[in-house]
Amino acid sequence: MSGGALPGSVDRGWDGPWYRVRADAFEASFLPGPDEDLGAVCNVDVFVHLDDGSRWSATVFTVTEVERLMATWAGNDEALGGRYFWVSDGLIVREPGIDNMTQVVAGLIDNGEFSEVFQRLDSD
């Protein structure tokens, strides 16, 4: 999927601490900080409900955020002094922002790679 708007109808908005994006094939629930600029989000948990009823999760990071974390850890013992970055349900994207991250989710669903990237939360 190229950049731009998501296909079909899309509804976005706050629901308590969650920022939810509802599209035709899925609902993505992001958990940004309460005062965080949605266009600048660079590290966020997301839960995705697909239209088949399955539930999935990931933590989305930007490349810049991974670099920042590794530099921070370079001064301590975390991650061998910042020599590596690892997370079991991590997804690294190039650009920040909830809209960009939602477009990546939609693209992964469209190209069939979603289940390889996100962690399934339910058995069926």
pTM for the model: 0.88
User: Residue 2 pLDDT > 50, yes or no?
Assistant: no
Q: pLDDT for 17-36, tens place per residue?
A: 999 999 999 999 999 998 99
Handedness of CA 89, 94, 96, 102 (dihedral sign): negative
Helix (H) or strand (E) holding 15, with range, is strand 11-15
Q: pLDDT for 43-89, tens place per residue?
A: 999 999 999 999 999 999 999 999 999 999 998 999 999 999 999 89
Q: Quote the pLDDT of residue 9.
A: 76
Taking the domains of the chain in order of start, what are their residue ranges? Answer: 11-60+90-120
Per DSSP bridges, beta strands 11-15 and 55-62 are: unpaired
